[in-house]
Chain A
Amino acid sequence: MTQLALVIDLNTCVGCHACVTSCKEWNTSGQAGPMVDKNPYAAEPTGTFFNRVQSFEVGTFPNTQTVHFPKSCLHCEDPPCVPVCPTGASYKRPEDGIVLVDYDKCIGCEYCSWACPYGAREIDEQQKVMKKCTLCVDRLYDESLPEAERKPVCVLSCPTSARIYGDIHDPESEASKAISDAGGYQLMPEWGTAPANHYLPRRKVSIAIHEEDLQRVDNPLRKEDRGPRKPTTRTTLDDSTSW
């Protein structure tokens, strides 16, 4: 069975929101219909987004680190949001594990959003239906796109390649390898939702620099204490010869 998912590397995410804007751009102009964008240039801008980047400060000043944390639907393997939906509008595709909402069936009762512990679902205030990340399902199988672009737009747009896309049930996929090599983890594992999206943990990135790294101790010039020849003021052969 296939389970498509994203693996997000918190080490490389710089919080630039490129995934947020490209997600909104693709999905607002795509199959899903427009996504609300209220007061975009005024105070209190708000609207529907499938993906958001949040920022957290970890530690106490001055020893702090900023963690940028992109958050979207995690396409849980045991999604609590699906069985509660009374209309069947919310469903998990058996073929690739993507959790989707059928906007033509949704009655906007909000019950699924109560059942998602991650706050990944949002009611669209214009269409009055529940919306959430589709993993760009309308790109993944589109044969009119070059094969390299059959990926979620957020993955393509990320300038630091912090987002890896793949089948986490295929141990050979880039996503699975990233999870096993870098200790990928799931959010709120305590609820047993088994999120398909994983996050790669922050690691220490400082290195120690010693004096001898800057100046070679075994520099042969230094060792024999013989510097380069000094410029001379005497006339040389070049000055006296004319031809």
Chain B
Amino acid sequence: MAQMNDLAVLVKELEEQLVTCIRCGMCQSVCPLFEQTRKEADVARGKLALLSGLMENIFEDPSGVSQRLNKCLLCGSCAANCPSGVNVLEIFIKARAILTEYTGLSPVKQLIFKRMLANPKIFDTLTQWAGRFQNLFIKDQANAQGTSCARLVSPLLAGRHVLPMAKNPFHKSLADLSRTPLAKGNKKDSGLRALFFTGCLIDKIFPNVAHASVKVLTHHGVGLSIPQGQGCCGIPALASGDRETFTRLVDHHLDLFKNEKFDVLITACATCTSTIKKLWPTLYKNPTSGVKEQLDALSQRTMDINQFLVDRVKPDFGKDAPSVSGPSGEIVTYHDPCHLKKSLGVAAQPRKIIRAAGKTLVEMEDSDKCCGMGGSFNLFHYDVSASIGNLKQKNIADTGCTTLLTGCPACMMQISDMLARNKQNIKVCHPMEVYARALEEKIK
């Protein structure tokens, strides 16, 4: 009990934020997890009450609270809808860090986060091996999403359709890319300079999204710099309570970007953008003088690629846009990633781009409802994750679309899996991909 008292003291750090929850219960109406389980411990109100319980030292050991706290998509639906403005995500992430620091990280996570993720070079090499060897384990299936069923059905994979690692991750092409005259667009110069943050999933699973982004930005005359040696934005470590590794990753990138000249930092990954914008400044551990200001300034300059294109580059979509197929173009639908719409308020811009690419956008029901991915939530709670994702795939299919578009590679993975499980013949792409393709066709 004496030790639990220490923990209570640590959690007390969150008290001022915890007391803002007025227990109104409104979060139940939007929590995708609660919709499935109907259990109070799964919704924000219940989890916040559990943290208050820790603070009041009423439990004998923290594992029960920790387990319930980790069962959460961190989708932020609760926070976006909370009448009292409780900063739910920040509380949850800080609490996870406090609990992890108190109980220690599990050995597997230690290996992944401390050894692999924290060191972008090792991470790159390892995943590249995985990319080469996976053909031995995963048999290709000819489906629209390009997913494949794990041949050796390990318990962890449980029949899911995993997207193969790309044979050529994006960073491998950087050497070639840097030789092309990136700084000058091949048309007029927009006068804007952007630093492109790739992000792990795009680099290793969806390199095509990065290539498309480069194409689009270059076309619109944006000067680009894509520094070599980028790594993970840190969210997986942070979500598991490993603030240490997270902070090291932030340091790594601060150092990497130090000598770069750019107006904006852009990413094509909703999760990376919201992590850099919202979590880098608030969750960096013990910042030394100047670091906090640096992170705040960087946060100010960070933007989602769709938002950047529409609000900053402002191309005249009527004239400049590819719009090859006109209003009768392919029917597509768009899924709002939680980290774009709920966290950053970006929803109109990707739609504009999709229309500019000549697609017919048919809205699905609940387009801003979480897809159920939730990072490692999907790994540890695959069943619930799949039933949430199943609702999504149904709404997608109901639109009669042939392509689903979304601005986050994590959502792309989850939705691909869900569509493949249900044998839906629907492709999954990023808005940048369709826009870039339309550009190419126009130039042809």
Task: Answer yes or no: do A and B interact.
Answer: no
Residues on A close to B: CB < 8 A? Answer: none
